[in-house]
Amino acid sequence: GDSVTQTEGPVTVSESESLIINCTYSATSIAYPNLFWYVRYPGEGLQLLLKVITAGQKGSSRGFEATYNKETTSFHLQKASVQESDSAVYYCALVSDTNAYKVIFGKGTHLHVLP
């Protein structure tokens, strides 16, 4: 079945450093999947960070970027300069038509940004 694998945490970086959280997926669909990053900040609920539904396209939000690469089946999350407020748990997810459009999540990556 479809699956998502992402960087195991926790990941610790210092403020102003660059960040990459890896996400690779496995999906059988030709037309899909659609790819998402969700984030859970401390004390808040899980929420959408960004999404991309077209291969080759890039999504961005809050300084984060992710490019949908169908050749490498990847959707890595990157940021050039992290801030302490980026400390959170990040989840990569996919939706595909071959599994009734259910949402498959990776296990999450806990990011700690040191001041």
Partner 1 sequence: DAGVTQTPRHEVAEKGQTIILKCEPVSGHNDLFWYRQTKIQGLELLSYFRSKSLMEDGGAFKDRFKAEMLNSSFSTLKIQPTEPKDSAVYLCASRDSAETLYFGSGTRLTVL
Q: How far is CA 83 from CA 12, 29, 45, 107, 115, in A?
A: 12, 37, 20, 23, 8
The bridge status of strand 11-14 relative to strand 109-114 is parallel
Nearer to partner 1, 25 or 91 (CB): 91
Nearer to partner 1, 54 or 81 (CB): 54
CB of 110 to partner 1, least distance (A): 8
Cis-peptide, bond into residue 10, ω within 30° of zero: yes
> Measured over all CA atoms, what is the biggest interatomic distance in the chain, rounded to whole angstroms?
44
Footprint on this chain of partner 1 (rule: CB under 8 A): 34, 36, 38, 45-48, 51, 53, 91, 95, 100-108
CB of 6 to partner 1, least distance (A): 9
CB of 1 to partner 1, least distance (A): 10
Nearer to partner 1, 12 or 14 (CB): 12
Beta bridge partners of 25: 4
